[in-house]
């Protein structure tokens, strides 16, 4: 099922979708999902998109615009859609839209269909590509036709990729 907001599906730059189930720990004193929880989801989705786009670490530099559109109740599935809007020398501009999906019935009921997604929030953020010392570095775009999993497969099949330290065949964390 594609939950992408209109206009997000046709872009070629990096996109990221994250989903979060709104739980009781996410609620404020009024019983709504806290704005902090929604913003954290926005920041995280934008960050993941910039990691892939810049092929390395990034940090949030600025929130240019943030808008909360509708209240969210417990049990909603929050979907954050991040899309790279522009890649500059060291910075990356990201647009994020959040929607909520509510279910109306039980799993064994024929009426169990999701309601149409409700717009929840939107934001424009700026991230900066950084090196290991936190210094800005070039935000080199990743080609839109190649995914990181394809790169990894190519490296493994040609032997050009190095495995991380640790046991053979295991990824160390």
pLDDT at 162 over 90: no
What's the mean per-residue pLDDT of the chain?
80
CATH for the 15-158 domain, from 3.20.10.10, 3.60.9.10, 3.10.129.10, 3.40.630.30:
3.10.129.10
pLDDT at 173 over 70: no
Higher pLDDT, residue 91 or 108: 91
HSE-CB of 100 using CA atoms within 13 angstroms = 20
For the chain, give the percent of residues with pLDDT over 90.
61
Higher pLDDT, residue 74 or 146: 74
Q: What is the pLDDT of residue 116?
A: 86
Backbone angles phi and psi of 157, in degrees to 5: -75, -30
pLDDT at 5 over 70: no
Per-residue pLDDT, averaged over 36-49, amounts to 97
| CB count in 10 Å sphere of residue 95 | 22
pTM higher than the cut 0.85: no
Give the residue extent of every domain in the chain: 15-158
| CB count in 10 Å sphere of residue 43 | 19
Higher pLDDT, residue 143 or 124: 124
**Structure confidence by residue, pLDDT tens digits, 43-88:** 999 999 999 889 899 999 999 999 999 999 999 999 999 999 999 9
Strand 15-21 relative to strand 58-68: parallel, antiparallel, unpaired?
unpaired
| CB count in 10 Å sphere of residue 34 | 16
pLDDT at 35 over 70: yes
Q: What is the pLDDT of residue 103?
A: 75
């Amino acid at each position: 099922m594609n939950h992408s907001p209109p206009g997000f599906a046709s872009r070629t730059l990096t996109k990221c979708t994250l989903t979060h189930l709104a739980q009781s720990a996410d609620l404020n004193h009024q019983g709504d999902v806290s704005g902090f929880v929604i913003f954290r989801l926005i920041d995280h989705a934008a960050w993941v998109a910039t990691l892939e786009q810049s092929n390395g670490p990034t940090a949030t530099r600025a929130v240019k615009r943030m808008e909360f559109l509708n209240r969210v109740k417990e049990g909603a599935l929050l979907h954050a859609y991040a899309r790279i809007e522009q890649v500059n020398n060291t910075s990356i501009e990201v647009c994020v839209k959040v929607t909520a999906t509510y279910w109306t019935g039980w799993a064994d009921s024929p009426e169990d269909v999701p309601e149409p997604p409700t717009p929840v929030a939107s934001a424009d953020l700026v991230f900066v590509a950084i090196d290991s010392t936190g210094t800005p570095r070039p935000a080199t775009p990743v080609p839109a036709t190649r995914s990181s999993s394809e790169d990894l497969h190519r490296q493994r099949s040609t032997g050009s990729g190095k495995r991380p330290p640790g046991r053979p065949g295991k990824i160390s964390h």
